[in-house]
Amino acid sequence: MPLPRLSDPRLDGQAAATLDDAFLHIERLRLSIEEGTSFPYDVVTRAALDAVVIAAHFREAGTLHVMLRSAIRPPLWWRDRSSAWVWELPAGLVEPGEAFRTAAARELFEEVGVHADEALLAPLGPSVLPAPGMIAEVQTFFHVAIDPRALEPPPGDSSALERASRLCALPLEEALALCASGEIRDAKTELALRRLREVL
């Protein structure tokens, strides 16, 4: 049975609320839903809106391993001045006009040091909306088998955040156990790892 469809809001006004050179932009909308009163609503946008997530995996002694990377996330530090980093699967933004699979292959090299033929990157379930109340970002998932002996030093994307990252190969089941314990807290990573276990 199809889910019921809700009414779309009506745009009553719009104003920019961000610096021109900012990575993120905030658009302040005035919306009304059905015949209700108009209300303000802030929407986050950016030039490269969508993202790809890549589960790079290999078998060693019969055990399936996945590549994880550390990532510095300043908003985590800014929240409570504790830890600014998370462990996650390689991921990155899709540049305007770039195909999702092309972006996945590029990010895999930048963040892991793996050259992968785009045709070998297989979809890993449907795309998701990570924070639809704030941003219209779509995350698309891929997985690919890699040869860990062919890794090159990952060049990164020249950002300070990627220069500070580290790589780690873990057995898939160990990575999922770390998700369950809260050691790995990144939602897209846990979702992709669970999907990977289902397909392999």
The per-residue pLDDT for range 164-182, each reduced to its tens digit, is 788 999 999 999 999 999 9
> Average pLDDT of the chain?
90
Pinpoint the alpha helices (H) of the chain.
Answer: 74-80, 100-112, 160-163, 172-181, 187-199
pTM: 0.89
For 87, list phi and psi in degrees, rounded to 5: -100, 135
Residue-wise pLDDT tens digits, 98-138 = 999 999 999 999 999 999 999 999 999 999 999 999 999 99
Coil, strand or helix: which one is 17?
coil
Per-residue model confidence (pLDDT) at position 159: 79
- Name the residue among 116, 193, 107, 194 with its Cα closest to residue 156: 107
DSSP state at residue 4: P
Share of the chain above pLDDT 90, in %: 69
Task: Using the predicted structure, report yes or no on whether residue 52 has a pLDDT greater than 90.
Answer: yes
Per-residue model confidence (pLDDT) at position 21: 80
* Of 8-12, 48-52, 102-106, 196-200, minimum mean pLDDT range: 8-12
Domains of the chain: 9-45 (no CATH), 51-199 (3.90.79.10)
